[in-house]
Amino acid sequence: MARIILASSSPYRQQLLRKLGLDFESCSPHIDETPRPDEPATALVQRLAEQKAHAVATRFPQGLIIGSDQVCVNQGQILGKPVTRDRAKAQLLAASGQRITFYTGLAVLDAANDRLHSMVEPFSVVFRSLSEAQIERYLDREPALDCAGAFKCEGLGISLFERMEGRDPNSLVGLPLIALVELLGRFEVEVP
């Protein structure tokens, strides 16, 4: 079996991939993630996932490369990582009472044969109506400044939701494992 390489330095994606019990290495892809003008969210994440896989393939020409990229969309607007508390608060205020959709692009590339399979996995969360005080308390306890949408569903962020909709909650963290198992199967990698 080819070496499995995760084209990401994200500790969140690495932690998720460990759930599958596969031996893998991680390598940062170093690509330009700037959206193209008028590029839909789904096209953006699929393109970036594929570019990440191809970028890492140059360093691992015999590897089976996993690329992933994610965006969060609220009312048609793509949200990035908030970075600051003020932006996190603004993102959460805008999400209050809304359905937010995450799109995760996933690509698996057999670098030796330049064979690629990719797809986009959607996952939505419906936020409860949140007061400014609730948002402030959340940010005091879990400032998710490095997460698109400004929350961590694997932590206290779950308390912000009314419901979740989709086939794989791992998608919210950035690596849809159900879809990944399907794509790996196309390369004869059996999990478990």
Note the pLDDT of residue 12: 87
Q: What is the mean pLDDT of residues 77-100?
A: 94
| Phi, psi dihedrals of residue 48, rounded to the nearest 5° | -70, -40
Residues 137-144, mean pLDDT to the nearest whole number = 94
Please say if the pLDDT value at position 158 is more than 90. Answer: yes
> Using CA atoms, how far apart are residues 71 and 102, in angstroms rounded to an integer?
6
pTM above 0.85, yes or no: yes
The two three-digit tokens of residue 67, written as one number: 């690329």
Domains of the chain: 4-185 (3.90.950.10)
On the question of pLDDT at 80 being above 90, the answer is no
User: pLDDT, tens digit, for every residue of 118-127?
Assistant: 999 999 999 9
Residues assigned a catalytic role: 69
